[in-house]
A = this chain, B = another copy of it.
Amino acid sequence: MENEIKTFSESYAMKGGEGLHSYAQNSIAQRVGIEAAKSLIQRAIANKFDPNSAYSRKQICIADLGCSTGPNTFTAVQCIIEALELQYKSQGLVIPEFQVFFNDQVSNDFNTLFKKIPCNTSYFAAGVPGSFYGRLFPKESLNVVHSSASLNWISKVPKEITERSSAAWNKGRIHYTNAPKEVVDAYASQYQKDIETFLHARAQELVGNGLMALQIPVANDVTFGSDFYCGKNFELLGTCLVNMAKEGKVDEEKVDNFNLPIYFSTLKDLIKIIESNDDFIIDQMETTDTKTQSIPVNVEAYVSLHRAALEGLIVNHFGAGIVDELFDCYAKKVMEIPAIMDIQNLNVVGIFVLLRRKY
């Protein structure tokens, strides 16, 4: 079991605490995803959650995977519980007790998460440390699984892209955007393995008929070279690192070895991976409407948003010394093309997937 749990590097957790660059203060984009999925989740539970089939259990167990430190996780969980309660009420059934498992990396700031659990919760809360690319719960112990804006984080950087001798060596970049086909393929292959592992683990943990609601960011199209495309933001950050290496501020080899464990599948490829799984029935799959949910941001907030997500990873690889200068450089680049801050321009869309565990 331990091997499965430890596959996801500890350095991937979002920035903890409640400071300026913390995830808690910088997760508006992820919140937009959750808000967009809210009515979809409510509808999904209304249509697909059967209190009678779960009723033999005295408690209903819900897991939010990749919860980070809040507040988005509390919003998502509350939305799910309200929808479940409505189902019990509408059928004249006694509402069961709810147990909620908040999961994230071992290195996640659970202390901050626990302090922020709302006072008026109607559930029993627990934190579960470990990678969701592995088993986290006993067999058939969960009724509902939720995960939002977390499955675009792959379990590890594909080994071959950090090897100088490999055709997939990703020199001078920190992501696969605008990279040779070999690099893109290595990322895509890791992503496929990871999603399969994820589905396999959840298939064991969910009860028969248990529901899994996933909100996954994917690339709407991948026409590199145009003004905007999915991943251009990471490319910009990469050029900052390359510049710092040129100026002797960072070791060049360290930059060549550094790659972001983030991947945005195409919708088509993701569907193929999910459909190839035999354990789940796909109840629903649709893109979420981000058009009406665009985020009002300024450069500072936009940069902090990336810093909250990536600082742990960067500090782990380069040390803490470079972070301020790196994000100052990034801020300047963003100021040159402010339109990059609009998620719609980056062609990232959210896919809402509702899966149901076969009996």
Contacts and interface: CB of A to CB of B under 8 A. Distances in A.
A273 interface: no
Interface string A97-117: 111010000110111001101
Contact of A126 (B101, B106, B139): B101
A139 B59 contact: yes
B141 A114 contact: no
A110 B127 contact: yes
Contacts of A124: 1, 128, 135-138
A125 interface: yes
B119 A2 contact: yes
A137 B100 CA distance: 10
Interface residues of A, number: 36
Nearest to A103: B126
Instruction: Among A111, A125, A130, find the residue whose CB has the most chain B CB atoms closer than 10 A.
Output: A111
Contacts of A156: none
Interface string A312-351: 0000000000000000000000000000000000000000
A140 interface: yes
A71 interface: no
Contacts of A106: 114-115, 117
Interface in A269-317: none
Contact of A6 (B99, B107, B119): B119
A53 interface: no
A119 to B, nearest CB: 5
Interface of A: 1-2, 6, 58-59, 96-99, 101, 106-107, 109-111, 114-115, 117, 119-122, 124-130, 135-141
14 contacts: A2-B119, A2-B120, A58-B139, A59-B138, A98-B138, A106-B115, A107-B115, A109-B111, A114-B127, A124-B128, A124-B136, A124-B137, A125-B128, A125-B130
